[in-house]
């Protein structure tokens, strides 16, 4: 599928979702469907889907210890081993994984290859993907946590704290939450990167663009609600609190843009377990990263190890005995004459 088609399909899909969400707000009978039924269904699909996927991975064995060693092994006492890149203890592995999951260690290592006539090849550092990925994921997390204020009454102190931090840019009223803007910016960067770098463009599929468009739309509708349209926050909170307490209601005051926002989020949730977004779970389970690198020191057990046909020494000697004897090599059985 070429890029144009990929983008068109993804964009049309997201626009359709937006239109549907709007419809859900306008048509009175649909309001409970889009305000209550679909969000519930989406959360259910999300939870079941993620659990099923992770269990599926979890019950598949790891027959061999195949960690990629990205640093010096632990060997002789006077050679400095790399505790984080070739960890030999469980703690070291946890630290390696934490670096990977919290700091995107491998992306930090990224290089950029360029070639001049000759040919001469150069490898420069490149941190843009790392920066954008970090910005994207951390602001996403911040925004996600901030939303808990809609689901919790009273709003817990840590969430208020986070908001204060997030909103340190106090430009008039309401407080500007930086995270939403960084999220939109980072997503835009990731999108542009996908389009501008030839190799990345070449590997991109609709299921790369679709989630980006989806997340961008979520961010934009969120920003619109907060800063542009007059959104009935009290009504929204009533709706969300209704959802979490299983006494759902849809107040009449909740407007169209909220419905669009909510439907986009519902789609994202339901789409999650069936897509590459599952990398969120997979990153914890990758056998090249989450195993100790002491495979010669500690035996790894393969649950399905089975006996195989080998060529044993006696078969070997039987075939070559005469030659062996002639060459003066020791044999187990003497030559019969």
Q: What are phi and psi of 122, to 5 degrees?
A: -125, 150
Does residue number 102 form part of the binding site for another protein (CB under 8 A)?
A: no
The span of 150-158, 164-172, 216-224, 268-276 binding another protein (CB under 8 A) equals 268-276
Does residue number 99 form part of the binding site for another protein (CB under 8 A)?
A: no
Q: Which of 51, 55, 98, 110 binds another protein (CB under 8 A)?
A: 110
Give the whole-angstrom CA distance, residue 317 versus residue 334.
Answer: 10
> Which positions from 124 through 163 interact with another protein, judged by CB under 8 A?
129, 133
By three-state DSSP, how is residue 89 classified?
Answer: coil
By beta-carbon proximity to another protein, the closer residue of 252 and 319 is 319
- Of the candidates 276, 228, 221, 189, the one whose C-alpha atom is nearest the C-alpha of residue 17 is 221
> What mask of x and - would describe binding to another protein in positions 68 to 87, judged by CB under 8 A?
xxxxxxxxx-xxxxx--xx-
Query: What residues have CB less than 8 Å from 276, skipping those under 6 apart?
Result: 207, 208, 211
Binding-site residue total for another protein (CB under 8 A)?
101
Does residue number 89 form part of the binding site for another protein (CB under 8 A)?
A: no
In terms of DSSP H, where are the helices of the chain?
3-26, 30-32, 38-59, 90-103, 105-108, 128-146, 157-166, 178-196, 198-203, 206-227, 233-244, 256-271, 279-282, 313-326
Please give the structure tokens belonging to residue 335. 């030559």
The span of 15-23, 26-34, 213-221, 302-310 binding another protein (CB under 8 A) equals 302-310
> Which positions from 173 through 212 interact with another protein, judged by CB under 8 A?
197-200, 202-208
- The CB-of-157 to another protein minimum distance in angstroms stands at 34
Q: Which of 29, 157, 304, 333 binds another protein (CB under 8 A)?
A: 304
Are 136 and 150 spatial neighbours (Cβ–Cβ below 8 Å)?
Answer: no
The span of 173-181, 215-223, 249-257, 314-322 binding another protein (CB under 8 A) equals 314-322
Does residue number 29 form part of the binding site for another protein (CB under 8 A)?
A: no
> Which positions from 315 through 334 interact with another protein, judged by CB under 8 A?
316-317, 319-320, 323-324, 326-330
- Of the candidates 125, 97, 129, the one whose C-alpha atom is nearest the C-alpha of residue 282 is 97
């Amino acid at each position: 599928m070429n890029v144009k088609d990929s983008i068109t399909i993804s964009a049309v899909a997201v626009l359709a979702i937006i239109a549907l969400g709007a419809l859900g707000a306008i048509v009175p009978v649909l309001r409970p469907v889009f305000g209550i039924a679909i969000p519930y269904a989406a959360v259910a699909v999300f939870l079941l889907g993620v659990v099923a996927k992770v269990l599926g991975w979890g019950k598949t064995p790891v027959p061999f210890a195949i960690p990629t060693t990205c640093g010096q092994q632990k060997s002789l006492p006077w050679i400095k081993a790399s505790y984080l890149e070739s960890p030999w203890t469980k703690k070291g592995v946890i630290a390696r994984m934490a670096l990977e999951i919290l700091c995107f260690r491998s992306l930090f290592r990224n290089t950029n290859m360029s070639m001049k006539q000759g040919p001469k090849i150069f490898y420069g550092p490149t941190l843009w993907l790392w920066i954008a990925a970090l910005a994207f994921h951390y602001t996403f997390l911040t925004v996600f946590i901030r939303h808990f204020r809609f689901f919790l009454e009273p709003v817990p102190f840590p969430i208020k704290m986070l908001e204060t931090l997030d909103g340190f840019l106090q430009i008039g009223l309401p407080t500007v939450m930086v995270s939403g803007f960084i999220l939109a910016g980072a997503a835009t960067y990731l999108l542009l990167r996908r389009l501008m770098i030839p190799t990345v463009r070449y590997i991109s599929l609709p299921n790369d663009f679709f989630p980006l468009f989806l997340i961008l739309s979520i961010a934009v509708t969120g920003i619109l609600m907060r800063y542009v349209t007059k959104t009935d926050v009290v009504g929204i909170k009533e709706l969300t609190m209704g959802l979490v307490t299983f006494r759902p209601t849809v107040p009449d005051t909740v407007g169209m843009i909220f419905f669009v926002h909510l439907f986009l989020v519902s789609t994202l949730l339901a789409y999650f377990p069936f897509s590459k977004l599952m990398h969120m779970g997979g990153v914890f389970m990758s056998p090249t990263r989450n195993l100790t690198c002491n495979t010669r020191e500690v035996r790894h057990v393969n649950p399905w190890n089975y006996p195989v046909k080998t060529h044993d020494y006696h078969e070997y000697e039987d075939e070559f005995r005469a030659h062996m004897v002639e060459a003066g090599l020791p044999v187990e059985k003497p030559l019969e004459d």
